[in-house]
């Protein structure tokens, strides 16, 4: 019976090649390209910055990048994935990193790589040759510790995603390779030699002499014992701290040069160490170090919001079914803002079923309509980033693009007015939208008369229907919600006993123009029954 394949090894291929009279060819060395992209050579186009701004996704990206500026995450967060396989690849990595042992292993690795970059940064700042070489050695040792530790910790944690398993396979081969072993051995030997150096400094007036330490008495302990009997803590602290990257002063340099002459073989090796290992970090390892911060930053935000009682889920994404079903969803940018203010976040459901493609959102002003529209667009975008989305469960469609039209400040440099600007932008959207697109239109044509806004809104939604695109249309015109089976009415709610209080709940219900009026009538005692009772029979 054939042996079962090892679970921690990904197959490298099924083909075999034999030379005449030879055994099987040596297996190809494992490769690893990216933890974010299945095929980094096929780089997806970035999202339209206007769309990110309209949906407040620029705020989300800014929050995710904060404190991680050295990784330049903004370009990575601005590129939605193009296909289901790429999304599944990322979702699996996200799930792995939600496991504490795996996340701890990766975070420890990232900390080691940060120390490596810090040391290399000092190499660029310092003037003294030996000081620069010593920090280069420190960078190599940080790197030489971080990578094997990641291999050991990941192997023990047994990741299940293709991305982390292929990384582990690659790193196992890498740390066992001759170049890596040589790098670590050379750095360790040099560090041991440097740590073993002991010397004496003789100061005579302005003359300083360095010699090898030959067992001379250490007067430091005697001095400490002498002064220990004097009271402590009664005088001001005169100590000062120096930053680790300060260049040496002339006295220090003179001592260091003499030490280098006394221990010339070791310092000759230190001087040439950077040239022996100039670009020591493997490009695949460096790329992983940057890209994995995408996951760590995203999951950090998820953990913060989950701690406040909000739910996230991995969406079921389809490139065929346009039925949407997201429960307890919320605006991610707003949730992060309200978390800082310790305020409650209202959750809503998003549903489009059967032939439904267009959600027409109406209701009182400041009732959550625009937030609902942004949430809709955010869900579709975040699903294409491959991570968990805001909501207890989610079924979403894989869009090719998201188009948005939100109110913008009228530009005085252009001759055309606000309505013309809206018409031009909407025409551009309809020109480029396909049957796989999603369109978010917020208070479009609000500057027009009711008659014109109704006419234009109908024409736009007819075009959206003809393309079979998904759409959210925020409007004050209830009539647009009854154009056909493709449209569904969604209405923002007010408190039943006080129409001035917005609940920020947005629910599916007919927009007959009376719900809000009925609430007002109840508040002021103007319902039919109340008026009838007061007027009399």
Q: How many CB atoms lie within 10 A of CB 320?
A: 8
- Provide mean pLDDT across the span 307-325: 97
pLDDT score for 191: 98
Q: In this structure, is the dihedral angle defined by the CA atoms of residues 309, 297, 73 and 343, taken in order, positive or negative?
A: positive
The owner of tokens 């913008």 is 408
Label residue 225 by pLDDT band (50, 70, 90). Answer: confident
428, 459 contact by CB (below 8 A): no
- Provide mean pLDDT across the span 253-271: 94
Label residue 174 by pLDDT band (50, 70, 90). Answer: very high
301 Cβ neighbours under 8 A, 6+ residues apart: 60, 63, 64, 332, 336
Whether residue 219 sits in one domain with residue 158: no
Label residue 418 by pLDDT band (50, 70, 90). Answer: confident
- Provide mean pLDDT across the span 155-178: 98
56 in a structural domain: no
HEC string for 288-335: HHHHHHHHHHHHHHHHHHHHCCCCEECCEEECCCCCEEEEEECCHHHH
Q: How many CB atoms lie within 10 A of CB 341?
A: 7
Helix (H) or strand (E) holding 391: none
Label residue 514 by pLDDT band (50, 70, 90). Answer: low
Q: Above pLDDT 70, what percent of the chain? A: 87
pLDDT score for 537: 63
Work out the burial of residue 398: count CB atoms within 10 Å of its CB; fewer than 13 is exposed, 13-18 middle, 19 or more buried.
Answer: buried
Tokens at 412, concatenated = 């005085």
pLDDT score for 365: 85
If phi over 0 gives left and psi between -120 and 50 gives alpha, with beta otherwise, what is residue 60? alpha
pLDDT of 46 above 80 = yes
Pairing of the two strands 470-474 and 487-495: unpaired
pLDDT score for 15: 34
pLDDT of 115 above 80 = yes
pLDDT of 145 above 80 = yes
- Provide mean pLDDT across the span 297-319: 97
360 in a structural domain: yes
- Provide mean pLDDT across the span 269-294: 98
pLDDT score for 524: 66
- Provide mean pLDDT across the span 197-216: 88
58 in a structural domain: no
Whether residue 406 sits in one domain with residue 339: yes
449 in a structural domain: yes
**DSSP assignment letter at 70:** G
pLDDT score for 20: 43
Label residue 520 by pLDDT band (50, 70, 90). Answer: low
pLDDT score for 530: 77
pLDDT of 517 above 70 = no
CA distance 189 to 375: 57
CA distance 473 to 463: 13
State the pTM of this model: 0.85
466 versus 523: the higher-pLDDT residue is 466
Whether residue 213 sits in one domain with residue 345: no
13 versus 310: the higher-pLDDT residue is 310
How far is Cα of residue 276 from the mean position of the Cα atoms in its chain?
A: 36
Label residue 536 by pLDDT band (50, 70, 90). Answer: low
pLDDT of 149 above 50 = yes
If phi over 0 gives left and psi between -120 and 50 gives alpha, with beta otherwise, what is residue 21? left
Alpha helices in 176-234 (DSSP H): 178-195, 219-227
Whether residue 202 sits in one domain with residue 185: no
* Three-class secondary structure of residue 165 per DSSP: helix
Label residue 227 by pLDDT band (50, 70, 90). Answer: confident
Label residue 241 by pLDDT band (50, 70, 90). Answer: low
Q: Which of 281, 361, 374 is nearest to 330 (CA)?
A: 374
Pairing of the two strands 207-212 and 199-204: antiparallel
Whether residue 437 sits in one domain with residue 392: yes
How far is Cα of residue 322 from the mean position of the Cα atoms in its chain?
A: 27
- Provide mean pLDDT across the span 209-220: 85
Residue 155 belongs to domain spanning: 81-194+280-290
**DSSP assignment letter at 279:** T
pLDDT score for 8: 36
Whether residue 204 sits in one domain with residue 190: no
Tokens at 408, concatenated = 């913008």
Strand order through the sheet with 358-362 = 402-405, 438-442, 470-474, 358-362, 487-495, 498-508
Backbone phi, psi, residue 525, to 5°? 65, 35
CA distance 57 to 457: 26
278 versus 413: the higher-pLDDT residue is 278
pLDDT of 425 above 50 = yes
pLDDT of 309 above 70 = yes
CA distance 517 to 511: 12
154, 160, 164, 169: CA torsion to nearest 10: 70
pLDDT of 355 above 50 = yes
Mean pLDDT of the chain: 89
Q: How far apart, in Å, are the Cα atoms of 122 and each of 130, 277, 329, 525?
A: 12, 17, 46, 75
**CATH at 344:** 3.40.50.300
Measured N-to-C along each axis, helices 57-65 and 369-385 cross at an angle, to the nearest 10 degrees, of: 50
295 in a structural domain: no
Label residue 9 by pLDDT band (50, 70, 90). Answer: very low
CA atoms within 13 A of residue 239's CA, in its CB half-sphere: 3
Label residue 10 by pLDDT band (50, 70, 90). Answer: very low
Domain count, the chain: 3
End-to-end CA distance of the chain: 95
- Provide mean pLDDT across the span 28-57: 92
pLDDT of 428 above 80 = yes
pLDDT of 410 above 60 = no
* Three-class secondary structure of residue 27 per DSSP: coil
- Residue-wise pLDDT for 48-98, tens only, equals 999 999 999 999 999 999 999 999 999 999 999 999 999 999 999 999 999
Label residue 531 by pLDDT band (50, 70, 90). Answer: confident
Whether residue 143 sits in one domain with residue 212: no
CA distance 172 to 150: 10
Tokens at 158, concatenated = 């047994």
Whether residue 439 sits in one domain with residue 351: yes
pLDDT of 362 above 80 = yes
15 in a structural domain: no
378 in a structural domain: yes
Whether residue 254 sits in one domain with residue 216: yes
Whether residue 178 sits in one domain with residue 206: no
105, 294 contact by CB (below 8 A): no
Whether residue 518 sits in one domain with residue 402: yes
Whether residue 92 sits in one domain with residue 112: yes
Alpha helices in 98-161 (DSSP H): 100-125, 129-157
- How long, in residues, is the chain? 537
- Provide mean pLDDT across the span 239-253: 70
Q: How many CB atoms lie within 10 A of CB 6?
A: 7
Task: State the greatest distance between any 2 C-alpha atoms of the chain, in Å, as a whole number.
Answer: 119
19 in a structural domain: no
* Three-class secondary structure of residue 277 per DSSP: coil
CA distance 15 to 218: 69
8 Cβ neighbours under 8 A, 6+ residues apart: 155, 158, 165, 168
pLDDT score for 63: 96
pLDDT score for 5: 38
CA distance 113 to 28: 28
* Three-class secondary structure of residue 183 per DSSP: helix
pLDDT score for 535: 74
């Amino acid at each position: 019976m054939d042996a079962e394949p090892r679970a921690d090894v990904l197959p490298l291929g099924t083909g075999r090649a034999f030379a005449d009279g030879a055994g099987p060819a040596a297996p190809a060395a494992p490769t690893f390209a990216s933890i974010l992209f299945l095929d980094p050579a096929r780089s997806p186009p970035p999202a339209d910055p206007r769309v990110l701004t309209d949906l407040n996704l620029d705020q989300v990206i800014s929050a995710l990048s904060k404190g991680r500026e050295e990784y330049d995450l903004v370009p990575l967060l601005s590129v939605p994935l193009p296909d289901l396989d790429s999304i599944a690849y990322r979702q699996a990595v996200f799930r792995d990193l939600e496991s504490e042992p795996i996340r701890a292993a990766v975070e420890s690795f990232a900390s080691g790589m940060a120390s490596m970059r810090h040391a290399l940064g000092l190499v660029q700042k310092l003037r003294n040759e030996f000081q620069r070489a010593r920090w280069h050695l420190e960078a190599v040792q940080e790197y030489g510790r971080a990578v094997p530790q990641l291999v050991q910790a990941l192997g023990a944690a047994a990741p299940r995603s293709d991305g982390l398993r292929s990384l582990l396979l690659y790193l196992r081969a890498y740390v066992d390779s001759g170049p890596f072993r040589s790098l670590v051995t050379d750095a360790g030997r040099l560090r041991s030699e440097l740590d073993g150096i002991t010397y004496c400094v003789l100061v005579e007036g302005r003359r300083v002499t360095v010699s090898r330490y030959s067992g001379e008495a250490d007067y430091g302990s005697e001095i400490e014992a002498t002064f220990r009997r004097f009271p402590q803590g009664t005088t001001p602290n005169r100590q000062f701290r120096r930053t680790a990257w300060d260049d040496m002063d002339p006295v220090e340099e003179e001592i260091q040069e003499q030490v280098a002459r006394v221990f010339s073989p070791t310092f000759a090796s230190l001087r040439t160490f950077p040239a022996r290992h100039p670009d020591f970090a493997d490009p695949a390892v460096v790329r992983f170090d940057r890209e994995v911060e995408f996951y760590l930053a995203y999951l950090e935000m998820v953990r913060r919001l989950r701690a406040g009682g909000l739910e996230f889920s991995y969406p079921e994404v389809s490139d065929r079914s346009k039925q949407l079903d997201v429960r307890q969803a919320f605006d991610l940018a707003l949730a992060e803002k309200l978390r800082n203010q310790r305020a409650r976040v209202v959750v809503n459901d998003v549903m489009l079923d059967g032939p439904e493609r267009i959600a027409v959102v109406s209701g009182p002003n400041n009732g959550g309509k625009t937030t609902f529209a942004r949430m809709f667009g955010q869900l579709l975008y975040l699903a294409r980033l491959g991570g968990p989305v805001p909501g207890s469960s989610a079924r979403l469609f894989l869009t090719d693009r998201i188009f948005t039209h939100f109110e913008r400040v009228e530009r005085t440099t252009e001759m055309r007015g606000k309505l013309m600007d809206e018409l031009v932008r909407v025409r551009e959207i309809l020109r480029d939208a396909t049957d796989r697109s999603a369109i978010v239109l917020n208070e479009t044509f609000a500057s027009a008369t009711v008659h014109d806004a109704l006419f234009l809104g109908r024409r736009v939604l007819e075009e959206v229907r003809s393309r079979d695109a998904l759409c959210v249309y925020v409007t004050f015109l209830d009539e647009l919600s009854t154009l056909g089976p493709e449209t569904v009415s969604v209405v923002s709610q007010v408190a039943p006993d006080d129409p001035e209080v917005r609940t920020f709940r947005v629910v599916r219900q007919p927009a007959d123009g009376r719900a809000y009026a009925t609430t007002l009538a109840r508040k002021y005692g103007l319902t039919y029954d109340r008026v009838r009772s007061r007027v009399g029979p």
